[in-house]
Amino acid sequence: MTRPRVFTAANPGPFTLDGTRTCIVGRQVAAVIDPGPDDADHLRALRTALAGARRVAVLVTHDHADHSGCARALADALGAPLLGPCRDADGPLADGAAVETDEGELLAVDTPGHCAEHVCFSWPRARALFAGDLMLGEGSTTWVGEYPGCVRDYLASLERIESLAPTVIHPAHGPPIKDVPGALAAYREHRLARIEQAEQAQRDHPAATPAQLVTMIYGDELPPGLRDAAEASIAAMLDYLAAGG
When pLDDT is averaged across residues 9-23 and rounded to a whole number, the result is 96
95 pLDDT more than 70 = yes
Find how far residue 139's CA is from the centre of its chain: 14
Q: What is the pLDDT of residue 182?
A: 98
Amino acid 167: pLDDT:
98
pLDDT at 11: 97
* Closest residue by Cα to residue 129 from 92, 94, 157: 157
Mean of the per-residue pLDDT values for the chain?
Answer: 95
The predicted model gives 109-127 an average pLDDT of: 98
Q: Is the pLDDT of residue 220 over 90?
A: no
The predicted structure's pLDDT at residue 1: 53
**245 band by pLDDT with thresholds 50, 70 and 90:** confident
| pTM exceeds 0.85, yes or no | yes
206-238 core/surface letters (b: 16 or more CB in 10 A; e: else): eeeebeebbebbbeeeeeeebeebbbbbbbbbb
Per-residue pLDDT tens digits for 156-208: 999 999 999 999 999 999 999 999 999 999 999 999 999 999 999 999 999 88
Sketch out the chain's domains with CATH numbers: 5-179 (3.60.15.10)
Across the range 62-79, mean pLDDT stands at 97
Q: What is the pLDDT of residues 38-67, one digit of tens each?
A: 999 999 999 999 999 999 999 999 999 999
